[in-house]
Amino acid sequence: MSESSIFHDRSKLSPRYIPSDLPHREKQIEQIQYVFKDSYSKPDGFPLAVLQVIGPAGIGKTSTVLKFSKLLEINFASNRLTIKTAYVNLKLQGGNKYAIYRLLLERIAPELPAQGLSAEEMLRYLLRYLYENKKYALIILDEIDYLIKITKDSGIIYDLTRLNEFDPDHPCNVKGVIFIARSTEFYSRLDKAELSTLGRVPMEFPTYSVKQISDILVSRCSEAFNSKAIGSDVIDEISKITTSAAVNGDIRYALDLLLYAGNLAESQGTSRVSLDQIRKVHGQIHPSITTEEIEDLPKSQIFTLMALIRTLIAKKKQYAELKEIRLRVIELTEQFKLKKFDVEDSLHDLQIRKLIEIRSLKEIGIHGASLQELEPILQKQIKGDRKND
């Protein structure tokens, strides 16, 4: 909390914050609850449930699933049972099967050692632990399509959708595996066996309407801003912007608009966010680069993006060459005493995330984004990472 003329609690605009109410996602929460309705009353007779949640970025998929997981934990507790949720964002924490299974083990049974175990052994170890201790688990893997795209290793889908076959003599105490993806395009990278276990009937989330976005923003603004700091004219404008083709209903972008416009109003000494401030911020930030995207970047990609931005600013051109970016990365690694990393791999990952454009080794750039706005955001992230080191 801070003594601000604009904000009551700006953390309520963070993509990490999950409000107690999720307007216009009640139906989806109910649908997921229905899938798991017998899991807490008859857990040993409830089979492993596999669910796919599909929809574009920023339309409440993750918030809905995490909200459901809290409700499921309450239902289990009311039946004197314990269920743990293991959520993994594969864009941020993925890499390979071993790293992901180790994360699952750490989050469900942190007291168990993982050292010296293979990926499959960790799964068996986890299942045996849950059964012997009469505990249960829910696994949520976010951005599964991103993982399949960059690793081409779809074995994780096969493994997790067949957990009940690891030990057929005992019930599987992992009650559900939920995969979250932006589209079903990753199906083309799966073989028939993986598609069969995954299923071809995903739960698809529709994009929000202008009215629905307005309702969501009104609810969030009541928590984040001081009274009268945000008018209905600002809500209406942001709702229209968010439903435009460029933004495609991404609520995270709408929250970023509110945050940056609020910061601008605060710096200008006003007590109310204006339409002009909203339009100015919208013209400066890129719809595909949200604060969540930046927060999710590994350190190597943050520094690579910073190197690209500084190169473009220095050159005053639309594109930079790979060799120029490498030189800037060397400067940054020396400045912050970082270990060397593969710049080309980082650039490739940034391209997959659609944060940059690579036409050739001599044409690497960022379209539609204000470099002057992005640089301080990255600097803030770097400073935050340094404090946590």
Digit-coded pLDDT (tens) for 340-361: 899 999 998 888 877 888 989 9
Q: How far apart are CA 309 and CA 328, in angstroms?
A: 10
Mean pLDDT, to the nearest integer, of 136-142?
97
Q: How far apart are CA 65 and CA 85, in angstroms?
A: 11
Ranked by mean pLDDT, the top range of 162-166, 177-181, 194-198, 201-205 is 177-181
CA dihedral 75, 80, 81, 86 (to 10 degrees): 60
Are 144 and 190 spatial neighbours (Cβ–Cβ below 8 Å)? no
**Could you give phi then psi for residue 300, rounded to 5 degrees?**
-60, -40
Kindly give the pairing relationship between strand 174-181 and strand 136-142.
Answer: parallel
- Give the DSSP per-residue string, 91-116: HHH-SSHHHHHHHHHHHH-TTS--TT
The pLDDT of residue 370 is 62
Are 56 and 249 spatial neighbours (Cβ–Cβ below 8 Å)? yes
In the predicted model, is pLDDT for residue 372 greater than 90? no
Place of tokens 């904000």: 7
pLDDT tens-digit readout, 269-284: 999 999 999 988 887 7
In the predicted model, is pLDDT for residue 387 greater than 60? no
**Could you give phi then psi for residue 131, rounded to 5 degrees?**
-65, -45
Q: How far apart are CA 69 and CA 48, in angstroms?
A: 15
Q: Domains along the chain?
A: 42-204 (3.40.50.300), 209-285 (1.10.8.60), 297-383 (1.10.10.10)
**Could you give phi then psi for residue 299, rounded to 5 degrees?**
-55, -40
Cα end-to-end distance, the chain, whole Å: 25
Q: How far apart are CA 136 and CA 144, in angstroms?
A: 23
The pLDDT of residue 2 is 53
Tell me the three state secondary structure of residue 178: strand
Please give the sequence-ordered ranges of beta strands (E in DSSP) within the chain, or none if there are none.
49-54, 83-89, 136-142, 174-181, 203-204, 357-360, 363-365
pLDDT tens-digit readout, 78-124: 999 999 999 999 987 777 888 899 999 999 998 887 778 888 899 99
Average predicted confidence (pLDDT) for the chain: 89
